[in-house]
Structure 1
Amino acid sequence: MERLNERASRWKFAENNKHRAPGEVDLHDLHVKEAIAYTERAVQDARHRGDTKINLIVGKGLHSRKGVAKLRPAIKKLLETQGLVVDLDPRNSGVLIVNLDGRPTDTDSVLSVDEILSRFEYEY
């Protein structure tokens, strides 16, 4: 079952991003754990390209259970613990703008994916 879920998330991610610019990543319809993995990869790719920022489309949570966003707080927390500056796009609250030239990372405060997920009551 996990392999099928992994294949489905790879397909969904590829479909959502096939027409996106390199500095823009759509994480819609992914579970939190999957979105975190794709976010980490997107940040690494952006740094390799020399980008100074990246836009992560996380959605507003309108289709989440009870309309509560799941991706936005988890992704924001992940990136902030890595010392990155994360802001909401003023034109679209479903987009996080990540400044890759953020403050230095305090390695003692960096959380693992599992630690981040345990701090949120998410089903993934």
Structure 2
Amino acid sequence: MAQQMTQQELYGFLEDRFECARACAECARVCALRVSTPDPDAGAEREQVRRAGIVCSEVCEATCRTLTEGDEQDADVLRIQLEWCRVICLNCAQAFGSRPETEKSAASCRACAAACTDFIAALA
């Protein structure tokens, strides 16, 4: 971000940033809904999935806040936050697995990870 961008590059950068923030917000929303009601009869695996959703929701919310705070952040700080979010989302999608009841949540996590990857590339 220290280099001069053309207007076209700036628009692309802002679009990528917005898409990533949108994907993070959606992932956080879906994960929070998924885990908002703990199941008292849940086994260890279901509890692990619930906890993965909680962590993913919190990291996505933090990333969304970081992305919407303005353009004064250091590119290295953004990369670290985005990479953290990407890894957490992929881990959460894996924890959700391919069970039908968690399919939407896993898809949101994968979409968020992809948006983070795209935005990291835009920062290069």
User: Does TM-score exceed 0.5, indicating one fold?
Assistant: no
Larger of the two Rg values belongs to structure: 2
Could you say which structure has the higher helix fraction?
2
In the superposition, the TM-score normalised over structure 2's length comes to 0.28
